Amino acid sequence: MKKAVLIVHGFVGSLYDNEYLMNYLEFDHKFDVFAYTLPGHHPCYDYQKVGYQAWIDFTNKKIQELISHGYKSIYLIGHSMGGVLAGITSFNYKEVKKIVFINAAYNYLNLKQNKIDILTNKDYKDYVEVFDRVFHTSIPFFLEFVKLVKNNYELLNKIKSEALIIQSDADQVLPLENGKIIYEKISSKEKYLTYIKDGRHAVFEGNEIEDERKKEIAEYIRLFLRGGYKWKKIWKEKI
């Protein structure tokens, strides 16, 4: 039977944030790819009425649905807050064999990178998109994200699934050491840390000029999910 890949999006995002990765992995005949939009993240929902436990429960529900349909191997991919949710739920199910953290938001606010971007007069479109989403939510909704991370941070050491930690080295939201902290805290016997050179927080968004770069990262993730000798051969500390 095919292996299930479940992709979890980030705070104030949607399943479409990782549409490129979803579509890319669907071409691999070994995988059935699934994604969903978290409660409270639809434009019509009232953000103030959704607590962080609802995000955990919903993610658990989706994993349980995959198990009920016979999937014995499930691979979780989580971006930003989605990485935190993937981590929280992963150790509850023996069927979760692998997990990919993409700029998982266990540590956030990157003032050092923010300063560099300001001093080098960097194009601020990355910031505009990120903060525009946040400012269109409510303070109580944002605080649910804060509580999610704070109340579940120590659960990192319960993660034992084979893991790939991907951290952008120019992430405008997360500090560079975020990836290393995750790598050191999880209890996985097989774990890999890779930095994306000049990468920003939203890895799979961007215009057509960046498609080759997105393809390179998606292929890297696909090979990790595939595993085996080929993965061990191509693993890199930086891509």
Model pLDDT for residues 79-115, shown as the tens digit of each residue: 999 999 999 999 999 999 999 999 999 998 644 444 4
**Domain-located, residue 172:** yes
pLDDT at 73 over 90: yes
**How confident is residue 140, by pLDDT bands cut at 50, 70 and 90?**
confident
Question: Is the pTM value of this prediction over 0.85?
Answer: yes
- From the list 58, 56, 64, 6, the residue with the least C-alpha distance to 31 is 6
Confidence class for position 34, pLDDT limits 50, 70, 90: very high
Confidence band, pLDDT 50/70/90 cuts, at residue 192: very high
Classify residue 148: in a domain, yes or no.
yes
Nearest to 167 by CA among 192, 194, 185: 194
What pLDDT, on a 0 to 100 scale, did the predictor assign at position 69? 97
Q: Tell me: pLDDT of 146 over 50.
A: yes
Q: Which amino acid is at 206?
A: G
Strand 3-8 and strand 31-35: pairing? parallel
Which CATH number do you get for residue 57? 3.40.50.1820
In a domain, 113, yes or no: yes
The domain of 73 spans: 3-234
Asked, for residue 123, whether it belongs to a domain, the answer is: yes
Domain annotation covers residue 239: no
Q: Report the 10 Å Cβ neighbour count for 153.
A: 14
* Distance in Å from the first CA to the final CA of the chain: 31
Query: How many domains does the chain fold into?
Result: 1
pLDDT at 162 over 90: yes
